[in-house]
Amino acid sequence: MVRYILITIYNMKKQLSLLAALLLLSVCTFAQQALWGGANIISPEINNDNTVTFRYLAPVADSVQLTGDFLPTVKVKTQWGPMDAPGKVNLTKDDKGVWSVTTSKLEPELYSYSFIVDGVKVTDPNNVYLIRDVASVTNVFIIKGDKGSKGDLYSVNNVPHGTVARRWYDSPGLGMKRRITVYTPAGYEADTRTKYPVLYLLHGMGGDEEAWINLGRTAQILDNLIAEGKAVPMIIVMPNGNAAQEAAPGESSLGLVKPTMMLPKTMDGAYEESFMDIVKFVESNYRVKADKSGRAIAGLSMGGFHSCHISRYYPNTFDYIGLFSPAIMPNEKATSKVYADFDGTLKKQMDNGYKLYWIGIGKTDFLYKSVADFRAKMDAMKMPYTYRESEGGHIWVNWRIYLSEFAPLLFK
């Protein structure tokens, strides 16, 4: 009887050991699938002729579409009026359940895209490269192209690289600690004597201190321009323009909150009034040229609005001003002293003198008319400026171009 019990226990142990081994094998197999992404699907695949093939495994899906900023645009209605949005194209399914489509030839550029599976927008599981724009997350890829092309300028090349840091500063004007992103050029840490000029680069509505460094490819653009001798080495400060925020969503004491376009204190003057808190922090913590000739300010959309009003509210502070697809006039409900006497303070800025006032706008941008009206005002005042009109609308494709053209003009 005892022998029977011992044999039974032995067999049970063997079965348990086998079960454990099978479970371990299952876990390892699952882990490998998770690690390697399951099926070996290449997407996107950049072909030799610069066409791009996209693939998505969805055997039971009824439809899969691709949307991206390389497709023809369509007009959509927004609270700000009609705006350009990426179009869509249908994918075709093969006998293995893989949907695919190949684009026409694409020019060198940084592109973003998503899939739409049975009406639901999803990211590409075979592409780990993602960028967040406000509350939307999309995949990205680069077609590099020849040296000097946009794709080459936006790429990490074999050149000296600057440093990107996230710093916290005290803002007495806003009553909180806040975060900024700072790019210092290659050699800044090793060179303890040279003082550098500073470009304050501001994001648009819904953005934050992560926008320009991620979507704008600021570090790559400046690394490459400086290495080619096209831009002087400079520090670039990318603040958070949302006066109610400590930092980008997920990077503050609020935790992992959902990003949103509209926040309290948006474009109400509080940010402009407190902007010198940022300048004081930078000039106290970095080796900079702390005078008008060593300061530039530029921004896109809401950041262009901020750049316009900060530079005239502090009319003898910046020698270089850049407005990229800017909003211009404040909301009628905004009563801050920052927005008082617009024409008078603009004239004072002109009379104080500056070296460059640069304006860029796309031909189909929804802010095109407001920029035209602002230019007419400047023309009537005989206020000098440089104007750049590009194709397309209110999009990052244009803003990266504007930065790559504006930066080489600075501090010369």
Lowest mean pLDDT among 6-10, 93-97, 366-370: 6-10
Average pLDDT, the chain: 90
pLDDT of residue 9: 41
pLDDT of residue 38: 54
What domains appear along the chain, each with residue ranges and CATH number?
45-143 (2.60.40.10), 155-409 (3.40.50.1820)
Does the structure show a pLDDT above 60 at 194? yes
The larger pLDDT score, comparing residue 177 to residue 15, is at 177
Q: Kindly report each contact of residues 361-364 with a partner whose C-beta sits within 8 Å and lies 24 or more positions away, as own/partner.
A: 361/325, 361/326, 361/388, 361/389, 361/390, 362/325, 362/389, 362/390, 362/391, 362/392, 362/393, 362/394, 362/395, 362/398, 363/389, 363/390, 363/391, 363/392, 363/393, 364/84, 364/391, 364/392, 364/393
* Confidence band, pLDDT 50/70/90 cuts, at residue 73: confident
pLDDT of residue 236: 98
Does the structure show a pLDDT above 90 at 139? yes
pLDDT of residue 39: 63
The H or E element spanning position 143 is strand 136-143
pLDDT of residue 61: 97
* pTM (two decimals): 0.88
* Confidence band, pLDDT 50/70/90 cuts, at residue 23: very low
pLDDT of residue 400: 98
* Confidence band, pLDDT 50/70/90 cuts, at residue 34: very low
